[in-house]
Amino acid sequence: MCGIVGYVGDRSALPVLLEGLKSLEYRGYDSAGVALPLDGCLEVVRRAGKVDELIAATAGSANGQHSGIGHTRWATCGEPSESNAHPHRDCTGNLAIVHNGIIENHVQLRQELVAGGHVFHSATDSEVVAHLVEAHVNAGADLLDAVRLAARELHGSFAIVAIDARNPGAIVGARVDAPLVLGLGDGEYFLASDVAPLLPYTRRVVWLADGEAAQLSPAGVRIVDLEGVEHAPSSSEIAWDREAAEKAGFPDFMLKEIHEQPRALRDTLRGRADASGELTLDELALSPEDIAGVDKIFIVACGSSYHAGLVAKYAFERWARIPVEIDVASEFRYRDPVLSPKTLVVGISQSGETADTLAAIRYARRQQARTVVITNVVGSSISREADGVLYTHAGPEIGVAATKTLTTQIACLWLLGLWFSWARGALSPEAAAEVIADLWRCPEQMEEVLADDSRVREVAERFAPAEGFLFIGRGVGYPLAMEGALKLKEISYVHAEGFAAGEMKHGPIALIDKGVPVVAIATHSRVLGKLISNIEEARARGASIVCVAQKGDERVLEVAGDVLVVPQTAELLSPMLDLIPLQLLAYHVAKARGCDPDRPRNLAKSVTVE
Ligand code: M6R
């Protein structure tokens, strides 16, 4: 979850590192630090708190260094503090490392290193890396070899970048199960946890593979595996531009990303589903014969991605008539699910780095199941693990709350569901073409919903002081209720729960008291009548009812205190539109309560530990 960045080239390294850390801050922000070589020694500055603290602390620092490494931390081992902040130095103080991930055997390694005379200064697992690399340098290895040999001794997940003031013209990185990307400039090179820090300088990147180490110097890039065998770097171009990674005039990334959804959905559909009903999903690596051989689908994911899976289950089962089971990824592999070569396991992960989802896909492969993943990050770990990959093409999502990546995940899942229904002959070509036509209408309809933002804001500001919210829905509205509640609690710290409306009478209705806001996802469906009865029951007990409903639905108008209007669409596609008022509601409640929606407390964008 931490963000790491490294630079070597002609520029002054400090501003490159600080700017890079700012753009990586969504990965963690409890402390930050940099290490830069200065006259044969390392200058290391670290601060507890956000990157701005570090920027203030380095204000008077010399700017003449042309290489350096930096880190922004999300604590996993050792409390958030300055002494636990990275970079961590070796005993000489000449060598420093930054690390993202978890070293599982750090206790044993620390004991061995201490017995060998090494002195530790932090409570982190990461510091063992500095001392291990030091031990290999002392034994005669150059920095690249020392890092690779150290990496071989580490158990767990890690991306490391190291620098040695005795050879300031090079930085070295290595990765196992944590992301690290190289940026190739003109005589200058970058290393980072993702592409955001590279975009101001270059779009040419090399995605370091698991078990590779790289040395970057003005002379170029050298990549080796952990055995020391040379690998030729294979570069690719990033299509995202710098502006895409910035706020584009919105006060927060989350609001910008909510508004980007129509564009993101168009990008997700383009080239895959054309208006005539034709589907092209070659990237799935699943032929019609393969699909005919699948008798069950498992979906595994975490958080909002899990909700995307729940939404998709309704469509898969109705369109393709195939059984779908869904699990939170952290439960999946520990409950001995029954898999076979006839099972398809679909993993969903925005970041492509979520440890549990990654592990679930690996587990599925070991059980000989077929695997497909849906991710937003090209080159992410999960994309390299599965038989087929569907990219969401949502562009970088910086806000911790998943918004545009969730709606585009759902779109990818629907395409997959249509692909299955077509291959299994479960849906007529005309019916499939109708769904695709409806889907292509969604971006414009989403724009309509977004244009009504001021109405959502007004409702949100009125209810912002409430101590708790309930969200209810039926059918495909049920996972939306869970998502509405997750979004609200995650960014505004208000207690919120999402329920299947039919479950209200089995317990949750006891929470209802005068004025408790109940948000009902009440768009058109085969169960709307039943949902309206549940709304009536809540209203009779004094709840304040807010409904997400379709234009002109008189039945809902009669029971709702407030209505957040969305255009009409097919029942199964309604999540695409209904999610927007729920996202905006959470956003405006968070703002009204003075919370930072982009950086909610205790959370990180990418959860790379179990
Ligand atoms: O990167 P992933 O999609 O695997 O992340 C899964 C969850 O951590 C993520 O959806 C989380 O729940 C979001 N912060 C919700 O807004």
**Ligand 1 pocket member 302 (CB < 6 A):** yes
pLDDT attached to residue 147 = 98
Give the model's pLDDT for residue 463: 98
Q: Please give the Cα distance from 320 to 322 (Å, whole number).
A: 5
pTM of the model: 0.79
Per-residue pLDDT of 598-609, as tens digits, reads: 989 888 877 877
Distance 475 CA to ligand 1 centre (A): 23
- Is it the case that residue 379 has pLDDT exceeding 80? no
The pLDDT value given to residue 101: 86
Residue 145 sits at the vertex; the CA angle it makes with 140 and 148, to the nearest 5 degrees, is 135
Residue 406 host element (H or E): helix 404-423
Q: Rounded distance, CA 39 to CA 36, Å?
A: 10
Which residue would you say has higher pLDDT here, 485 or 558?
485
* pLDDT value, residue 286: 82
Query: Is the CB of 376 inside a 6 Å radius of any atom of ligand 1?
Result: no
Q: Whose CA is nearest to atom 12 of ligand 1?
A: 303
> Which tokens belong to 603?
């959370």
Residues recorded for the chain: 610
Would you give the DSSP letter of residue 273?
A: B
Where in the sequence numbering do the catalytic residues fall? 2, 605
* Least confident window among 192-196, 228-232, 578-582: 192-196
Which atom of ligand 1 lies at the shortest distance from residue 375's CA? 3
CA of 190 to the centre of ligand 1 (A): 27
Rounded average pLDDT over 404-418: 97
The residue assigned the tokens 């700012």 is: 22
Question: What does DSSP assign to residue 359?
Answer: H
Q: Which of 203-207, 278-282, 500-504 has the lowest mean pLDDT?
A: 278-282
Statement: residue 157 has pLDDT above 70: yes
pLDDT in tens, 7-65: 999 999 999 999 999 988 877 778 999 999 988 899 999 999 999 999 999 997 767 79
Condensed to tens digits (0 to 9), the pLDDT of residues 562-598 reads 999 999 999 999 999 999 999 999 999 999 999 999 9
Please list the helix, strand and coil fractions of the chain in percent, rounded to the nearest 5, in that order.
40, 25, 35
544 vs 245 pLDDT, higher one? 544
Angle between helices 575-592 and 453-463 (to 10 degrees): 50
pLDDT bucket at 76, cuts 50 / 70 / 90? confident
For tokens 């414009």, name the residue.
444
Give the pLDDT band of residue 248 (cuts 50, 70, 90).
low
Task: Check if 254 has its Cβ closer than 6 Å to any atom of ligand 1.
Answer: no
| Residue located nearest, by CA, to atom 14 of ligand 1 | 401
| CATH 3.60.20.10, domain 3-244, yes or no | yes
Q: Is the CB of 3 inside a 6 Å radius of any atom of ligand 1?
A: no
Instruction: Please give the pLDDT value at position 427.
Output: 92
| Atom 4 (ligand 1) nearest CA | 349
Percentage above 90 pLDDT, the chain: 79
Element (H, E) at 577: helix 575-592
pLDDT per position as a tens digit, 101-147: 889 899 999 999 999 999 999 999 999 999 999 999 999 999 999 99
Is there a shared CATH topology between the 253-449 domain and the 453-592 domain? yes
Among 304, 492, 599, which is best to mutate for testing ligand 1, by the most ligand atoms less than 8 A from CB? 304
Residues near 230 by beta carbon (within 8 Å), at least 6 away in sequence? 222, 223, 224
What per-residue confidence (pLDDT) applies to 89? 98
Residue with tokens 């390299």: 384
Beta strands 517-521; 495-500: pairing state: unpaired
- Of all protein residues, whose CA lies closest to atom 9 belonging to ligand 1? 303
| Superfamily in which the 253-449 domain is placed by CATH | Glucose-6-phosphate isomerase like protein; domain 1 (3.40.50.10490)
Q: What is the pLDDT of residues 419-444, one digit of tens each?
A: 999 889 899 989 999 999 999 999 99
444-462 pLDDT, tens digit each: 999 999 999 999 999 999 9
pLDDT attached to residue 414:
97
Which residue among 408, 607, 609, 610 is best mutated to probe the pocket of ligand 1, counting the most ligand atoms within 8 A of its Cβ?
A: 607
Ligand 1: centre distance to CA 144 (Å): 34
Substitution site in 354, 398, 406, 490 for ligand 1 pocket (most atoms within 8 Å of beta carbon): 354
Angle value at C-alpha 350, between 344 and 354, nearest 5 degrees: 80
Q: At what angle do helices 404-423 and 303-315 cross, to 10 degrees?
A: 30
Look at residue 607 in the predicted model and tell me its pLDDT.
Answer: 82
Ligand 1: nearest atom to the Cα of 307? 10
pLDDT band at 287; cut points 50, 70, 90: confident
Locate 569 and state its tokens.
């669409």
HEC string for 167-206: CCCCEEEEEECCCCEEEECCCCEEEECCCCCCCCCCCEEE
The three-state secondary structure class of 370 is: strand
Which pLDDT band, with edges at 50, 70 and 90, does 333 fall under? confident
Helices (H), 274-328: 288-292, 303-315
Give the mean pLDDT of 464-477. Answer: 97
Average pLDDT, the chain: 93
What residue spans define the domains of the chain? Answer: 3-244, 253-449, 453-592
Q: Which residues contact 40 (CB under 8 A, 6 or more apart)?
A: 94, 165, 166
% of residues, the chain, pLDDT over 70? 99
Residues 6+ apart with CB under 8 A from 115: none
Is residue 488 within 8 Å of 586, Cβ to Cβ?
A: yes
Mean pLDDT of 312-323: 96
Q: By three-state DSSP, how is residue 322 classified?
A: coil
Domain 453-592 fold is Rossmann fold (3.40.50)
Whether 305 is in the pocket of ligand 1, judged by its Cβ within 6 Å, is yes
Residue 246 confidence (pLDDT) above 70: no
